[in-house]
Amino acid sequence: MQGTTAIISSGALAAYPLGLRLLAIAALIVLAGSLMAKWEGGNQQATLERLNSRVFIPCLVFASLNRTPLTLSEALIMAGAALLYSSACYPLARWWLSRNAAEKTEVWGPLLFSSSATLLLPLAYLLFGSQGLTKAAFFHLTALLLYYTVGKWSADMPAQPGAFLKTPTLHAVLIALLLALLEIDLPQQVDELLWLVEKGIGMMALGALPVLLMSHGYALCCLRLQGGSYWSPVALIRALWLPLLAVLAIAVLRLSGLAPLDKGYDLLHYLDLRTTEAILLLAAALPCTVSLLQQPKTDSELSPRTTSLVLASSLYALFVIVLTVMAINRYLFSS
């Protein structure tokens, strides 16, 4: 399992510097995106979002699934986690709206959904390789489905399942699964052409990592320019509540036998289960979404309270993600 060795080198102590260095590099790329937005005035955010949703994310997902297929049980666990985390944030959204119901159209996206596109996908690949990215891709895909259905409905908008079916990320997943299931013998020339296409997609996937991280920083700077602050009690509660929920979910998986701790004779399967648990923890540590794909379009700018929610959530997530990576190394991969 080449992807998993990115974080489980020769023990927990040896993996600490590696994981923290990767997080430091990711933070610098996010900072570069923020500086770019500050210099440009935030005029290119929509362009970055279109590039991410239509080019970089589909290439990244297809390349990972093409190398590392996912079992049905793993896909269901990731989908269930996305549903669980969004459901756990629903009471926070209701509490938020009890203080100002006028923000209903703009608060559901950031509160119910995490930055799975701009943070989870690149961090999962940096820390766990294609194995972790494949699991994170199904978490992200489920979050998109929930946004276009439950998220739209919660904001008093009609559900848009058709928009979800048009998502390039969904197309990338379906094509990768189809190619994995149908092992068709093709002529040599066609096979060589497909090999070149696959290599090109793989190169685009590698280019997606910095672009996704930069777009996160770009969006944060745009929100800061709108007058948001770095304090929000709801963001603090969310940052503490979801990781605790992830720990509870992992305990349920272990007690139910879906993720046993017994290594047995198949060490790769054992590491794969621990990687699944690591992605669950990493997804719980994510901040509120900053993606335009998951924020309702409004004619005016977001309210200061909403911008503060997203900015504060991103600030708290810096510390939570670092602690999460340290906990992953110590409690999941130390043995």
- Among the residue ranges 78-87, 197-206, 234-243, the one predicted with the least confidence is 197-206
Residue-wise pLDDT for 192-233, tens only, equals 666 666 666 666 666 677 777 877 787 777 777 777 777 888
Predicted local confidence at residue 197, as pLDDT: 65
Mean pLDDT in residue range 111-118: 81
Looking at residue 27, its pLDDT comes to 80
pLDDT for residue 266: 73
Report whether pLDDT(110) > 80.
Answer: no
φ, ψ for residue 264, nearest 5 deg: 65, -150
8 A C-beta contact, residue 53 and residue 171: no
246 has pLDDT over 70:
yes
Residue 252 has pLDDT above 80, yes or no: yes
- Give the per-residue pLDDT at 184: 58
Q: How many CA atoms lie within 13 A of 225 on its CB side?
A: 18
Q: What mean pLDDT value characterizes the chain?
A: 77
The DSSP 8-state label assigned to residue 331 in this structure reads I
User: What is the band of 335 on the pLDDT scale with cuts at 50, 70, 90?
Assistant: low
Q: Give yes or no for residue 77 having a pLDDT over 90.
A: yes
Confidence grade of residue 188 (pLDDT, cut at 50, 70, 90) = low
- pTM tops 0.85: no
Q: Name the CA radius of gyration of the chain, rounded.
A: 20
Residues contacting residue 62 through CB under 8 Å, at least 6 positions apart: 172, 173, 175, 176, 201, 205
The β-bridge partners of 288 are 114
Scan for tokens 């995490």, then name that residue: 114
The CA distance from 226 to 207, in Å, is 29
SS3 call for 109: helix
Classified as helix, coil or strand, 288 is strand
Q: Specify the pLDDT at position 142.
A: 92
Pick 26 or 90 by higher pLDDT: 90
Token output for 225? 């320019």
- 289-301 pLDDT per residue, tens: 876 434 444 445 6
Measured CA to CA, the distance from residue 64 to residue 225 in angstroms comes to: 36
pLDDT of residue 242: 93
Asked if 15 contacts 333 with a C-beta cutoff of 8 angstroms, the reply is yes
**Could you tell me the CA-to-CA distances from 239 to 48, 70, 94, 285, 334 in Å, in that order?**
26, 29, 17, 7, 25
Residue 2: predicted pLDDT: 43
DSSP state of 303: P
Q: In angstroms, what CA-CA distances link 211 with 119, 134, 136, 204?
A: 11, 19, 17, 10
The residue to which tokens 């911008």 are assigned = 307
List, as one string, the DSSP characters of 111-144: HH-B-IIIIIHHHHHHHHHHHHHHHHHHHHHHHH
Separation between Cα atoms, residue 33 and residue 40, nearest integer Å? 11
86-107 pLDDT, tens digit per residue, is 999 888 888 877 776 666 666 6
Which 8-state DSSP code applies to residue 217?
H
Per-residue CA distances from 235 to 89, 156, 230, 328 (Å): 10, 23, 10, 23
Q: Which residue has the higher pLDDT, 158 or 295?
A: 158
Gap between the terminal Cα atoms of the chain: 16
In the chain, the percentage of residues whose pLDDT exceeds 70 is: 76
pLDDT confidence band for 306 (50 / 70 / 90): confident
Amino acid 79: pLDDT: 92
Give mean pLDDT, residues 17-41: 75
141-150, 218-227, 229-238: range with lowest mean pLDDT: 218-227
Provide CB contacts within 8 A for 297, sequence distance 6+. none
pLDDT of residue 103: 62
Q: Label residue 41 by pLDDT band (50, 70, 90).
A: low
Query: What sign has the CA pseudo-torsion 241, 89, 62, 247?
Result: positive
The stretch 39-61 carries a mean pLDDT of 72
Query: Is residue 303 scored above 80 in pLDDT?
Result: no
Residue 251: other Cβ atoms inside 10 A: 11
| 259 has a pLDDT exceeding 70 | yes
- Write down the pLDDT at residue 7: 42
Nearest Cα to Cα of residue 121 among 286, 269, 240: 286
What are the start-end ranges of the H helices in the chain?
A: 12-40, 45-51, 57-67, 72-99, 104-112, 121-146, 152-154, 161-165, 168-181, 188-225, 233-255, 267-284, 304-327
The CA distances from residue 258 to 55, 131, 210, 213, 222, in Å, are 35, 18, 34, 33, 42
